[in-house]
Each structure stands twice: as C-alpha cells, then as structure tokens.
Structure 1
Amino acid sequence: MADTTASNGATCVDRLKSYVRTQKGFILAGEMFISFIIIICYAASFYGGYSALAICEMIFAMVFFGIFMMDMDKQFTMVNWMWSDLFRAGIGAILYIITSLICVIGGSGDGARIAGGVFGLIAGLLFAYDTYTIFLQVKTTRQHTAASTEDRV
C-alpha cells in the first residue's frame, strides 16, 4: 500500500531544492539552462541544424540530473555512473567548443548564430569544468580503493 502520510510531490520538490544547492546539481542545472539558451539562439538563426547538439546535451543533462537527484545511481549499480557522466561531460565539452568555433567564425551576417556560438563556448567551458570535477572524483575514488590481499592460485 502507498504511504499516505507524506506526499510524493513535496518529497520530489524537496529533493530538487536540496540537490540544486550541491555543486554537482548546480553545474547540471547550469548546463541545462545554457543549452536551452543555445537552442533558442540557433532556432532563431538561418542555420537551425546546430541546435541538435544543444538539444541532445540538454536531454543528457536532464537524465543525469534526475538520476543523481533521486539517488538512482546508488540503486542501479550495473552502470558506473561516474564514468558515464565523465564521458557525457567530456564529449559535450569537445563538441560544444568545435561547433561554437564553426558558428562564430563562419556566422557573418547571422547575429543569432554568432550569439549561439558565444553561448556555446561558455557551455563548452562549463562542460569542461564539469569534466574536471568528475575527473577529480574518479581520481580520489581510485586512490581510496584498497588493493586485494587474497592469494589466488
């Protein structure tokens, strides 16, 4: 039976508020926000095809935000969420920087495309910072794991 003493909506909102206050939650919320701004800029430009990267990265950031907010990463241990998040952020940083440089360099006469490129460079830096913080977590996690002392033959 369902527990009727606590409402699920309040619990979810409380988790959302508390997770956004953490460093990782703030970074993921920033990634979603800047990706949304980039989608708007590219949609207003003459070349709307560049918005596909921003849409994909925003959806990936939403998925990881939901997984980490609801502590599903501790329930589903089949996936190494830290490494998955590292690859997501690293690939996002590289792709944002490449597409943004293309848009800024070749966007003469299209102000929305240049604005999307500038915001894309900012997003690339944010994703690179996220990659760096995740890398530091991976590095400290690897140093704290104990070596196996079993003697197997």
Structure 2
Amino acid sequence: MQTIIRNIWNEPIWSLLKTARNEVFVVEQGLDTCVVADDYDQTCTHIIYTHSEKVIASCRVRIENTIAFIERVSVLKEYRQQSLSKGILNEALTFIEKTNVQTVAIVAQSRLISMYEKYGFTPVDDHFMIFGASHIKMTKSINN
C-alpha cells in the first residue's frame, strides 16, 4: 500500500480518486454525484491510500484561516475492516497539526458520529441533509 499526501489536481491519480469516490458515495451509498468532485479539490491536500494502482481510501484537507476541514473520507467496501479509515484520519490529523489551525471540522454522515467521537470530535449543530444523506457538523480543537 502506498500513501500519497499532496494536491493531486491534474495528476493521473485524480481520475482514480474520482472513480473511488463515485464507487463509495454514489454507487454504494446512493448520494448525489456532486459529492465526487467540486472546486475545492483543486486546492485541497489529498490523503490517499493506493493498492494495485487504484485508490482504496482517501480524504481531503481544506484549510480556511484557522479552521481545517476533513472532507470526503472514503474507503472502498472490499478494504473495510482493515482500519484504513483510522489510518486516513490519523494521517489527516497529523498533517493538520503541522499547520497553524486551531480547530478541525468535519461534516460527518450522521450514522458515523460515534466513529468521529473516538477522535475527539463533538457535534456542534443539528442534523441536516446534504448530498442525499443526513449529516452533522463536528469539531475538535488542536493544540499546536
């Protein structure tokens, strides 16, 4: 397994990332296709695990002022139960701790609240619908 941590916009792996996101979010979960890619992808840092020349797990980190957003966390179904989401989140948090942000935010699918609570995230808003699924904003403070 290879780990990639950088902006991958306009690289060949960008197409592989979109394919993996489509598989997880659109095909498997039935979410809107707009979740596959948006304008933020051009400037985000992407954290990607690859295996056999395909993206098997990923997320992106978007920084705005003193807040870092962890977004689009996904693991291909056949690679779950291997702690890859744990690895991806730890990679993201390690990357963020090297910046000057004070808060990390994640807009989590409501069904995953307990997973993110294990990383110190707490819900800060009510549930809302986006991309066709219930989500909730969660945050945690970072001590750099």
TM-score normalised per structure 2: 0.30
**Structure 1 or 2: larger strand share?**
2
Decide which structure has the larger Cα Rg and report it.
1
TM-score normalised per structure 1: 0.29
